[in-house]
């Protein structure tokens, strides 16, 4: 069956908010990545994880269960489609510093 419309909208809202302000992820990445690491890549993964984690917590609180297979596929598909936007936002934020 997949995600209901309200869940899709919530996930899209979280992704848009993350793309508008990637400051938290880039700041954490800058502090945590060792000198030989890549802060951009770390921030990219961290931001994606923060969005997915936030959505999953909200989903579980609302539905008293974890997403099923179809819902998980929808979540991952939506996040994957927005990852280029998140990457651009991180790169832009890091260039401005």
How far is the C-alpha of 94 from the C-alpha of 29, rounded, in Å? 11
- Greatest alpha-carbon span in the chain: 45
This prediction's pTM: 0.83
What number is the average pLDDT over the span 58-70?
96
Percent of the chain residues past pLDDT 90, beyond the cut: 63
Phi then psi for residue 4, to 5 deg, are -80, 165
How far is the C-alpha of 18 from the C-alpha of 16, rounded, in Å? 5
Judge whether residue 33 has pLDDT over 80.
no
For the chain, give the mean pLDDT. 90
> How many domains are there within the chain?
1
How far is the C-alpha of 43 from the C-alpha of 93, rounded, in Å? 11
DSSP 10: H
Q: Which domain holds residue 56?
A: 5-96
């Amino acid at each position: 069956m997949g995600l209901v419309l309200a869940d899709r909208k919530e996930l899209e809202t979280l992704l848009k908010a993350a793309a508008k302000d990637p400051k938290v992820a880039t700041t954490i990445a800058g502090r945590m990545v060792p000198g030989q690491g890549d802060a951009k890549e770390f921030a990219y993964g961290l931001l994606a994880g923060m969005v997915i984690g936030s959505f999953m917590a909200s989903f579980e609180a609302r539905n008293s269960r974890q997403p099923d297979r179809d819902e998980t596929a929808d979540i991952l598909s939506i996040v994957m489609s927005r990852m280029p936007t998140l990457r651009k936002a991180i790169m832009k934020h890091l260039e401005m510093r």
